[in-house]
Structure 1
């Protein structure tokens, strides 16, 4: 199966994968260098899910993951 622009990837993340207060960045380290776009931070703290405005990748907290309220 080939990837197309209409097929958005879904990346499930754990609370440990988050940067700062409930955010992830895209492109993520596992993405191929040829597909890089400017780094954007995607907030997962409010909805538990967010979408990259450049490539359409959806980032979602894994089922059962909880965001810490502090350290």
Structure 2
């Protein structure tokens, strides 16, 4: 079920560094790869990849303690 407009829900532990996640993520099919970008999820609890449109957001109840 590979959808260009998919939504990936994250736990706080899956967020890297200052509140970002890498896209494409390891679960994506190899054929759908694009240049690696880091999507900021600190604003409004989510962000969108500019290449594939995948939306990354925090699961309900998750909070980033290390975000600036």
The question of whether the paired residues in 1 share the 8 Å contact of 2:19 and 2:66 is answered with: no
What TM-score do you get using the length of structure 2 for normalisation? 0.88
Query: Pairwise CA RMSD of aligned residues?
Result: 1.8
- Corresponding residue number in structure 1 for 2:27: 30
Structure 1: which 4+ aligned runs deviate by more than 2 Å?
none
What stretches of structure 2 of length at least 5 have no aligned partner? none
The question of whether the paired residues in 1 share the 8 Å contact of 2:22 and 2:36 is answered with: yes
Looking at both structures, which has the greater relative contact order when contacts are Cα pairs under 8 Å and sequence separation is at least 6?
2
2:50 to 42, 53, 60: 53
Aligned length: 67
Which is greater in Rg?
1
Q: Deviations over 1:6-30 (max 9, x none)?
A: xx10000000000101110100000
1:69 is displaced (CA, Å) by 3.6
Match runs of 1:1-71 below 5 Å: 3=3, 5=4, 8-69=5-66
What stretches of structure 1 of length at least 5 have no aligned partner? none
Distance of aligned partners of 1:31 and 1:65 in 2 relative to their CA distance in 1, 3 Å threshold: same
